[in-house]
Amino acid sequence: MADELLMGAYICKGCGIGDRLDCGRLETTATRDGKAKFAKSHDFLCSAEGVAMIQADIDAGETNHLIIGACSRRAKVEAFNFQNVTLSRANLREGVIWVRPDTDDARETTQEMADDYIRMACAESKFMKLPKGSGEQPLNKNILVVGGGITGMTAAIEASKAGYPAFIIEKSGQLGGVMAQLNKRVATKSPYAEPEDTTVDALIAAVEADSKITVHLNATVTKTSGAPGRFSVDISTESGATTNLSIGAIVQASGMKQYDANQLTEFAYDKSDNVVTQLELEAMAKAANGGPIKRKDGKEVNSVVFVQCAGQRSDKEGHLPYCSGFCCTASIKQAMYFKDQNPGVDTVIMYDDLRTPGAGGEDFYRSGQKKGVIFTKSSVSTIDASGADLTINFHDKILNEDQSMSADLVVLATGQVPNSGPDPYAVPMELEDDASAEDKQAAADAHEVAIGVDSILNLDYRQGTDLPHLKHGFTDSHFICFPYETRRTGIYSAGPVRRPMDSMQASVDATGAAMKAILEIESAAKGAAAHPRSGDLSFPSFRIEGCTQCKRCTVECPFGAINEDAKGYPQYNESRCRRCGTCMGACPVRVISFENYSVDSIGQQIKNVDIPEEFDEKPRILVLACENDAYPALDMAAQNKLEYSAFARIVPVRCLGSVNTIWLTDALNSGYDGVILMGCQKGDDYQCHFVKGSEMAHYRMSKIADTLKTLNLEEERVATYEVAITDVERTAQLINDMAETVEKIGMSPFKF
């Protein structure tokens, strides 16, 4: 019968497993304790013969739930890629024989570790179901690109080349964005010596000639609803007309705004027309059309000073704390405008740190030097404006002297401000310092934020109208592992709205975002996750009869994947879901689950570990390890033959955010002597693949002390750590530290 549970266990003897473990005993453990229908051993299970043996059993209808006792679940993924069956892996190589000494004294506890991992794999298999795609949407190849600058046009062109129709929404009356305002761009080709054409006209021509690209000018997005593969987007024009588009994925390329130089009163921007920003100088250069650049009063410029980091890389209130990345090379380019027209013009670039990123950055800087551009490491304090005359007061950091100089024109490198919509998770300023975490979350959830920014996407999401900000208003999500991927699945950010960057980087960014959008479109049509659990067909469901409508799942979901229906019950949006399980960990009544990952599939693993009696002096330590960083680090510890306690039992979890506190309660009640949770780094520089999962878990675990008190257990028995994938030695040491703690405070009083 198709629905019949047929568990088949397969034990590998290769890689030294058969030399260190009694594989016959493991077979018995699988059939007797794990209730597998049968168990087999093979000398090399990942070999062609071993894989064929397993496939033959599947084809014969002997098994539909596989238990493979071999190497880590992170190894031999291609070999053990069987279709239409569930798969549970018992880590006997990295998790057992590689972390234990090959001595007679250790043989007994090493075998016990292996037996437990077989029991755990069988228990997991019993509660796993084969996930199937939801079938919620067909293939929708349309890509919406919000923003018609160099980033947006490049994204649309790249999508079209791949066969995906693109729709560009531009709020102004013409394409080009900020790039169209430039006279020239920084060199992008060898020998990286001269400013180049912006290429904007060529891009516009390519867009207009492409039959797969549709452009909406003087248009904005007035409503976005739905999900990846089935977004419904309303586009409204200045005339009031509205068009509805069916969209598969969205690229937000809304670009940047120039920092408001009016805040730089010390630089006399508000007092003199001869103090300008870099963007204003571009307009002056375009007006000169190759001739002498003139000031507003018509005077030719004979001396010009470029002030770097004007209002940026500063902790001063109202300033930008970050480097915008493009400004130094832009100032060198603009200094060349003057030198190329008249080598006699004095051009001085005052900088604190000069940064010229990119392959040709250093060459472009050298070219500026050869043209006679002067570079001085100086910090400008004030600029005095007396009529048309300017005096720049600065501290020369080489000579360590305060000095002054005059100039006809001063150019301020003011930096980029992302053109983002309002942050849906912003906390009201009055709550930032004094409020509790609950009050902050409640305020953000209710959107009690004074918004002075127009919405860009107008999302019809319970969690707010626009993309959440990462830092300083930029709309990136996981800046280490998953660029372009925002916290709204199927919506990607590219260009300076994602992070500060120059035009060359923006073009590369646009291509990356377009490719990610295509991946999401194809995955959504299959009902599969695109990232980070690529190809995962599972999605959450819940038992309505047990739901208390507490809304914790909707509030804690990092990706806005859960709304509520008219009755207040959770409404899961399958293709918005990243499959992290944070909702499952949040649910206090444990009614949320995935087909192949649930409270039971993990909980039963924990319960099926053999717990020795107290007098056996064999403690048990449960380790719940994030599959993204902690579990790989433990695997690498094994590869480096770093030993850790034979009393540890490791269970990989999708994200620490998916950990339900019932697992800890059950473990402690079952007689575990210690529990370790290993998740990713949280905070501003987070490394959590699911953004907020680790943070939510740490918050939940901060309250676990109350549970321990009710059980009359020491707080030291539960420890939560932030672990990086590079913490190879540390992960093993954390387990050994807990073993020492248990030895010190004694066994759990809940031993059976």
H or E segment to which residue 160 belongs: helix 150-161
For residue 451, what pLDDT is reported? 44
Structure tokens at 329: 């090379």
For residue 431, what pLDDT is reported? 44
Residue 109: pLDDT over 90: yes
**What is the mean pLDDT of the segment spanning 65-76?**
97
Alpha-carbon separation of residue 331 from 185, 309, 338, 349, 384 (angstroms):
11, 11, 11, 7, 21
115-152 as b/e: b if 16+ CB within 10 A = bbbbbbbbbbbbbbbbbeebebbeebbbbbbbbbbbbb
CA atoms within 13 A on the CB side of 319: 16
For residue 45, what pLDDT is reported? 97
How high is the mean pLDDT of the chain? Answer: 93
- Provide the H-helix boundaries in 174-301: 200-209, 278-288
| Top-confidence range, 331-340, 355-364, 548-557 | 331-340
For residues 619 and 564, give the distance between their C-alpha atoms in angstroms, rounded to a whole number.
45
Residue 600: pLDDT over 60: yes
For residues 80 and 477, give the distance between their C-alpha atoms in angstroms, rounded to a whole number.
32
The torsion of the CA quartet 418, 422, 423, 427, rounded to 10 degrees, works out to 120
For residue 685, what pLDDT is reported? 81
Other CB atoms within a 10 A radius of the CB of residue 610 amount to: 13
3-class SS of residue 439: helix
**Comparison of pLDDT for 47 and 134, the residue scoring more:** 47
Structure tokens at 98: 């590689």
Structure tokens at 9: 């266990």
For residues 552 and 746, give the distance between their C-alpha atoms in angstroms, rounded to a whole number.
37
Beta strands in 578-728 (DSSP E): 592-593, 621-626, 648-653, 674-679, 718-722
116-130, 163-177, 711-725: least confident range: 711-725
Structure tokens at 137: 């949407």
For residue 750, what pLDDT is reported? 86
Cα 481-483-484 angle, rounded to 5 deg:
150
Residue 354's closest CA among 345, 344, 346, 364? 364
pLDDT band for position 427 (cuts 50, 70, 90): low
Structure tokens at 2: 């198709």
For residues 250 and 193, give the distance between their C-alpha atoms in angstroms, rounded to a whole number.
37
In tens, the pLDDT along 195-226 reads 999 999 999 999 999 999 999 999 999 999 99
Q: What percent of the chain has pLDDT over 70?
A: 96
pLDDT band for position 235 (cuts 50, 70, 90): very high
50-59 as b/e: b if 16+ CB within 10 A = bbeebeebbe
**What is the mean pLDDT of the segment spanning 719-736?**
96
For residues 660 and 241, give the distance between their C-alpha atoms in angstroms, rounded to a whole number.
49
φ and ψ at residue 87, rounded to 5 degrees = -135, 125
Residue position matching structure tokens 């190894």: 75
For 195-228, the DSSP string reads: -B---HHHHHHHHHH-TTEEEE-SEEEEEEES-T
Structure tokens at 674: 């210690």
In tens, the pLDDT along 287-334 reads 999 999 999 999 999 999 999 999 999 999 999 999 999 999 999 999
Residue 428: pLDDT over 70: no
For 105-125, the DSSP string reads: HHHHHHHHHHHHHHHHHHHHH
Residue 449: pLDDT over 90: no
CB 8 within 8 A of CB 37: yes
CB 492 within 8 A of CB 251: yes
For residue 450, what pLDDT is reported? 40
Residue 440: pLDDT over 70: no
For residue 14, what pLDDT is reported? 96
φ and ψ at residue 545, rounded to 5 degrees = -70, -20
CB 8 within 8 A of CB 126: no
Residue 447: pLDDT over 70: no
Structure tokens at 209: 């000639």
In tens, the pLDDT along 562-578 reads 988 888 899 888 899 99
Which domains does the chain possess? 1-130 (3.40.50), 143-255+456-526 (3.50.50.60), 260-415 (3.50.50.60), 541-584 (3.30.70.20), 611-752 (3.40.50)
For residue 704, what pLDDT is reported? 84
For residues 6 and 13, give the distance between their C-alpha atoms in angstroms, rounded to a whole number.
23
**Comparison of pLDDT for 588 and 704, the residue scoring more:** 588
For residues 157 and 324, give the distance between their C-alpha atoms in angstroms, rounded to a whole number.
26
For residue 452, what pLDDT is reported? 56
For residue 2, what pLDDT is reported? 54
pTM: 0.91
- Ramachandran area for residue 609 (φ above 0: left; ψ -120 to 50: alpha; else beta): beta
- Provide the H-helix boundaries in 588-692: 599-607, 630-639, 661-670
Residue 728: pLDDT over 50: yes
**What is the mean pLDDT of the segment spanning 621-642?**
97
Q: What percent of the chain has pLDDT over 90?
A: 84
Gap between the terminal Cα atoms of the chain:
39
In tens, the pLDDT along 2-16 reads 578 999 999 999 999
Residues in the chain: 752
Instruction: Give the contacts of 504 (CB within 8 A, at least 6 positions apart).
Output: 186, 188, 358
For residue 1, what pLDDT is reported? 44
Residue position matching structure tokens 């404006």: 385
SS (H, E, C) 505-551: HHHHHHHHHHHHHHHHHHHHHHCCCCCCCCCCCCCCEECHHHCCCCC
In tens, the pLDDT along 79-94 reads 999 999 999 999 999 9
For residues 669 and 748, give the distance between their C-alpha atoms in angstroms, rounded to a whole number.
9
Residue 745: pLDDT over 90: yes
For residue 448, what pLDDT is reported? 39
In tens, the pLDDT along 648-659 reads 999 999 999 999
Residue 62: pLDDT over 90: yes
231-237 sheet: strands from edge to edge: 219-225, 231-237, 242-247
Structure tokens at 263: 């805040």
**What is the mean pLDDT of the segment spanning 691-715?**
86
Cα 382-383-386 angle, rounded to 5 deg:
140
Q: Residue type for 375, please? A: F
Instruction: Give the contacts of 90 (CB within 8 A, at least 6 positions apart).
Output: 67, 68, 69, 70, 114, 117, 118, 120, 121
In tens, the pLDDT along 482-536 reads 889 999 999 999 999 999 999 999 999 999 999 999 999 999 999 999 988 999 9
φ and ψ at residue 644, rounded to 5 degrees = -140, 170
pLDDT band for position 344 (cuts 50, 70, 90): very high
In tens, the pLDDT along 361-405 reads 999 999 999 999 999 999 999 999 987 889 999 999 999 999 999
621-626 sheet: strands from edge to edge: 648-653, 621-626, 674-679, 718-722
For residues 502 and 411, give the distance between their C-alpha atoms in angstroms, rounded to a whole number.
18
**What is the mean pLDDT of the segment spanning 581-600?**
94
3-class SS of residue 272: coil
pLDDT band for position 409 (cuts 50, 70, 90): very high
Structure tokens at 284: 């002056």
Residue 429: pLDDT over 50: no
